[in-house]
């Protein structure tokens, strides 16, 4: 449930990095996701096929991003272009500070979030794994916060589980882990830590078999969610027998 809208899946698919639309379609369907990101770029007259049609026929709501923006101004304009193009006021807000790490620029990010919320957007910001920044974004009126596990496309998983726990503890809107997932266990861990959902792209789109990895991610997210909800046993230093210690026969 994000901004009053209910989704079937806790997995959001980023569509960057697929070899072609056919590969993307197979992975989106296998993932079970019903929310998918896309981006805006200058028209390429030679481009074939419509990503919008493919995503909508797969039952996905569109979540345009502001990838490639370095300033609040560019991100706000890009979100407004996306609203025109896709007739949605939802936006995955990305304002990056550096093209080597693609880490968010926190100052520009909060500025852009405030402007977009005031302009009526439903804002889902890609953010650092910083609890204070996450709080600022929630206070700005964002519909979710989306901390990174590690840099975009790095596949390093969750670098700071402690910070992620703090963000989960304090946040009253959905927390969606965005970026850094490499394989299924990373997604499961994020859900076990209390995230409400996962957004991933490269882990699936650049896998050798994207559809199969998408299926794995679907199961991983469900596994982590259920494990969290089921209440895990505490960690112990020593063993605790699961078989009764009473009534053991004397055999020697």
Partner 1 sequence: MRVLLNGESREIVDGASVRDAVRAAGAPSEGRGVAVALDGEVVPRGRWDEEPLTEGQRVEVVQAVQGG
Within 2-31, the residues that bind partner 1 by CB under 8 A are: 14-18, 21, 24
Of the residues 51, 61, 156, 227, which one makes contact with partner 1 according to CB under 8 A: 51
37 with 68: CB under 8 angstroms?
A: no
Q: Is 162 a catalytic residue?
A: no
CB 178 within 8 A of CB 143: no
Number of residues that bind partner 1 (CB under 8 A): 35
Among 3, 29, 39, 156, binds partner 1 (CB under 8 A): 39
Structure tokens at 113: 């979030």
Using left for φ > 0, alpha for ψ between -120 and 50, and beta otherwise, residue 150 falls in beta
Say which of 92, 136, 215, 218 is annotated catalytic: 92
Per CB under 8 A, contacts with partner 1 among 61-80 are 64-65, 67, 77, 80
Whole-number Å distance between alpha carbons of 173 and 195 = 11
Asked if 37 touches partner 1 (CB under 8 A), the answer is yes
The residue range among 41-49, 161-169, 183-191, 241-249 that interacts with partner 1, by the rule CB under 8 A, is 41-49
Contact yes or no for 113/125 (Cβ under 8 A)? yes
Total residues found in the chain within this entry? 252
Tell me if 151 contacts partner 1 by CB under 8 A. Answer: no
Tell me how far apart the alpha carbons of residues 236 and 252 are, in angstroms, rounded to a whole number.
Answer: 32
| Site residues for partner 1 per CB under 8 A | 14-18, 21, 24, 37-45, 47, 50-52, 64-65, 67, 77, 80-82, 84-87, 152-153, 201-202
| Catalytic residue numbers, as ranges | 92
């Amino acid at each position: 449930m994000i901004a009053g809208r209910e989704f079937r899946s806790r997995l959001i698919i980023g569509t960057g990095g697929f070899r072609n639309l056919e590969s993307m379609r197979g992975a989106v369907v296998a993932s079970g996701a019903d929310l998918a990101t896309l981006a805006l770029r200058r028209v390429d007259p030679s481009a074939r096929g419509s990503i919008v049609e493919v995503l909508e026929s797969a039952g996905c709501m569109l979540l345009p991003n502001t990838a490639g923006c370095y300033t609040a101004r560019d991100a706000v304009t890009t979100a407004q272009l996306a609203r025109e193009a896709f007739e949605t006021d939802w936006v995955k807000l990305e304002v990056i500070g550096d093209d080597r790490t693609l880490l968010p620029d926190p100052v520009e990010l909060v500025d852009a979030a405030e402007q977009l919320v005031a302009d009526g957007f439903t804002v889902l910001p890609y953010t650092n794994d910083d609890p204070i920044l996450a709080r600022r974004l929630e206070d700005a009126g964002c519909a979710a916060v989306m901390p990174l596990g590690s840099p975009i496309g790095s596949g390093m998983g969750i670098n700071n589980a402690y910070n992620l726990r703090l963000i989960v503890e304090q946040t009253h809107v959905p927390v969606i882990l965005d970026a850094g997932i490499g394989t299924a266990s990373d997604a499961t861990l994020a859900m076990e830590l209390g995230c409400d959902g996962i957004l991933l792209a490269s882990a699936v789109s650049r896998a050798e078999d994207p559809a199969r990895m998408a299926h794995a991610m679907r199961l991983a997210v469900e596994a982590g969610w259920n494990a969290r909800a089921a209440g895990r046993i505490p960690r112990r230093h020593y063993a605790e027998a699961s078989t009764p210690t009473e009534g053991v026969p004397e055999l020697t």
